[in-house]
Amino acid sequence: MSHFLSPVFAPGFFQSSLVQIAVVIGALAAVVSAVVGVFTVLRGQSFAGHAFGDIEATGGSGAYLVGIGPLLGFLIAAVIGAVAMEAIGIQRVRGRDLATGIVLGAALGLAALFLYLETTASSTTGATISVLFGSLFAVSSSTIPLVILLSAVAVTIIAVLFRPLLLSSISPELAAARGIPVRLIGALYLLSLAVAAALAAITIGAILSTALLIGPAATALRLTRSPGRAMLSAGLLGVAATWIGIVLAYDSFLWPPVKQGWPVSFFVVTLVLVFYLLAGLPAAVRARAARTDQRARATASGLAG
Amino acid sequence: MSRVPPAGGEAPILEVEGVCVRLGGREILRDVGFRVGAGEFTGLIGSNGAGKTTLFRVILGLQSATAGRVLIAGHPRSRRNPLIGYVPQKFLLDPDAPLRARDLVGLGLDAHRLGFPLPSAKRTALIEEMLDAVDARAFADARVGNLSGGEQQRVLIGHALISRPRLLLLDEPLANLDLASGHEIVALLSRISREQQIAVLISAHEMNPLLPVMDRIVYMAAGRAASGTTEEVVRAEVLSDLYGHPVEVLHVHGRVLVVAGAHGDPGVANGALGAIEIVS
C-alpha cells in the first residue's frame, strides 16, 4: 500500500511526528477558519481578518523576543486587536481607512523591530519566516492542547450564537428589531475571529492568515446556497487545502533547487486560490454563454430588421 | 371605500401618545399621537425626512422618545416584542450570500434562539405554509440576494409574519418597486391583514397606491402627524395646518394630489410641475 502510494507520499510521511502534528493543527485551524470565515465574508469584514494578520505579526514576533510560544503571541495580539476594534466600532475602523492603515503599518513596523532584534540576537532568520509566513512543520507538539482548546472555544461561540449571529450579519436592523443584542453578538463574533486568525497564523503565518480565513469561505459561498452547507463545504475545502499542502511540502524536500522543502503555506495559499477560481468557473462559463447567446440574438434581429 | 375595523372593546394594538424625539438639537418628532386598532390597515404617509423611520424606531424600541409613550396591546412595549413584526426599508444582501428565501423565513421563527435550527417536520411545515401565504414558493430555494425587489419584500414579509405578530410594521416597502410589484405587495398585505386579523402600519411617501386598502391614515410632515380616515385627514385645512403653510388637495382621475398653494414653501415639496408642486 505504502509502496503503491509512494509517488504521492514521499517515504517516511506517515511515520513523521512533525507531519502528524502538522496534520492535526492544520485541520483544526482550517475547520475553525471555515466556520468563522463564512460569517466574516457574510458580514463583509474580511478587512478585519486582514487587520488581524498585521497585528499578529507584532504579537508573534514579540513572543519570540520574550520567549513565549508564538501561538500565545498571536492570540494575545489578536485579542487586543479585537478589543480595540470593538471599542472604536468595527464599521468605523473600516471607514477610517487612513488612520487604520497608519496604525496597522505601525504594528508591522514594530514587528520589523522585534524580528530584527531577534535575528541579530540569535543570528538566524527562522523567526521571521515562522512569524510572517508560517512553518507548520516546526510547531511544537506542546502547542496541540492550546490549539484544541482555542478551536473548541471559537466553534462553540459560533455554534451557540448561530441563529442570532446569522440574522445580525444579514441585517443588523432586523435583528435589533427582534430584540437581539446586536452589539454583544458582534463582539463575541469578533473574539472568535481573533481566535481563528491566531490559529490560521500558526498554520500558514500571520501575513497569510487571511487566506485560510477568507478563501475557503468565499469559495463555499460560490458553491452552496444555505449557511450550514456553506460552513461544511468551507471546512472541507480548508482541510483539503491544508492537508494537500502538507503532503506537497513534505514531498518538496526531494525537489530542486535546494532539497530543503518548500513552505507549507505556499502550497496552502495556492490551493486556496485554485479552489476559488475553479468554483467560479461554472458561473463564468454560464455568463459567457449568455453573452454569446445575446450577441447572436442581437445579430439575428439586426439581420431581420 | 375603507373596511370597517372590527368592533368590540378590544384595546388598540398600538397607541402612540404625545411622542417627541429630539436628536442633536433637532426636533425629529413633535407630539405625535395616533392609534392603530386590531386588524386595521393604516398608512403612514409623508415625504422623506418627515420622521416616519424615526417613528418606527420608537415603536420598535430602538429609539427612546424624549417625551410621550408607546403602548402595545395596552402595555408599555418590551425590548423583544413578539406582537410586532417588522420589515425594514434597507435590505442589501450580497448576491453570493448563502441564504435561501426559506432560510430567511425560518429565521423569523427562531432567530432569537441559540444554537443551530434543528430540522423538524413542524418547523419545515410552518416555513412551507408561510412561503405559500406570501406567494414565495416559486423562489423558496433561490438565494435572497438574487431575488428582485418585490420578491425580497415577500420573503421579508414572510420572515416578519411567521412568528404570528398582531402588528406588522413596514418601512417604505413600495419605495424601490415598479408599479405592478407595488400593487401585488399591497394586495398581499391587505389580504393577510384581513384574513389573519393582523394590523398593518405601512409607511410610504405616496398615498395613492394605498388608498383602496387603507382603513386609516397617519399623515406626517415636519415631525408632526394628523390621523383619521382619509376623508378626515386629506383635506386642505388639516394638511395646511400640518405643513404650516397653505396646500391644496386635488382629486384627479381618482388620484389624490396634495399640492403647495400659490405662495407655498417649496422646501416641503418633493416634485415640481410648473407652478404647482406636488407634496404627496
Q: Are B26 and B147 within one domain? A: no
Query: For chain B, how many structural domains are there in total?
Result: 3
Q: Are B76 and B177 within one domain? A: yes
Q: Which domain holds residue B277?
A: 246-280
Q: Which residues of A touch B97 (CB under 8 A)?
A: 42, 170, 221
The DSSP string of A67-95 is: T--HHHHHHHHHHHHHHHHHHH-HHHHHH
Per-residue confidence band for A215, with pLDDT thresholds at 50, 70 and 90: very high
* CATH number where A80 lies: 1.10.3470.10
Phi and psi torsions of B71, nearest 5°: -115, 135
- Decide if B255 is inside a domain: yes
Q: Are B184 and B67 within one domain? A: yes
Q: Who among B103, B111, B112 is closest to A226 (CB)?
A: B103
**pTM given for the model:** 0.85
- Decide if B241 is inside a domain: no
Q: Are B111 and B150 within one domain? A: yes
Contact B98 A174 (CB under 8 A): no
- Decide if A12 is inside a domain: no
Q: Is the pLDDT of residue A4 over 70?
A: no
Is residue B59 within 8 Å of residue B218, measured between CB atoms?
no
- Decide if A163 is inside a domain: yes
Put simply, whether B52 touches A (Cβ < 8 Å) is no
Q: Who among B88, B96, B142 is closest to A171 (CB)?
A: B88
Q: What is the pLDDT of residue A124?
A: 66
- Decide if A6 is inside a domain: no
Q: Which of residues 149-188 of A touch B (CB under 8 A)?
A: 159-164, 166-167, 170-171, 173-180
Contact B114 A44 (CB under 8 A): no
Q: Is the pLDDT of residue B259 over 90?
A: no
The edge-to-edge listing of strands for the beta sheet with B224-228 is B84-87, B167-170, B199-204, B41-45, B216-221, B224-228
- Decide if B88 is inside a domain: no
Contact A177 B88 (CB under 8 A): yes
pLDDT in tens, A86-132: 887 776 666 666 777 777 888 888 888 888 888 887 766 677 878 88
Lowest mean pLDDT among A11-25, A148-162, B16-30: A11-25
Q: Does an H or E element contain B158, and which?
A: helix B149-161
Q: How far apart are CA A162 and CA A168, in angstroms?
A: 10
Put simply, whether A37 touches B (Cβ < 8 Å) is no
- Decide if A134 is inside a domain: yes
Q: Are strands B84-87 and B167-170 parallel, antiparallel or unpaired?
A: parallel
Q: Which residues of B touch A175 (CB under 8 A)?
A: 111
Q: Are B150 and B252 within one domain? A: no
Q: Which residues contact A115 (CB under 8 A, 6 or more apart)?
A: A61, A64, A127, A128, A131, A132
Q: How far is B88 from chain A (nearest CA, A)?
A: 7
Q: What is the pLDDT of residue B9?
A: 56
Q: Are B261 and B138 within one domain? A: no
- Decide if B74 is inside a domain: yes
Q: Which domain holds residue A169?
A: 17-304
Put simply, whether B99 touches A (Cβ < 8 Å) is yes
- Decide if A5 is inside a domain: no
- Decide if B2 is inside a domain: no
pLDDT in tens, A226-277: 888 999 999 999 999 999 999 999 888 887 776 678 888 899 999 999 999 9
Query: For chain A, how many structural domains are there in total?
Result: 1
- Decide if B239 is inside a domain: no
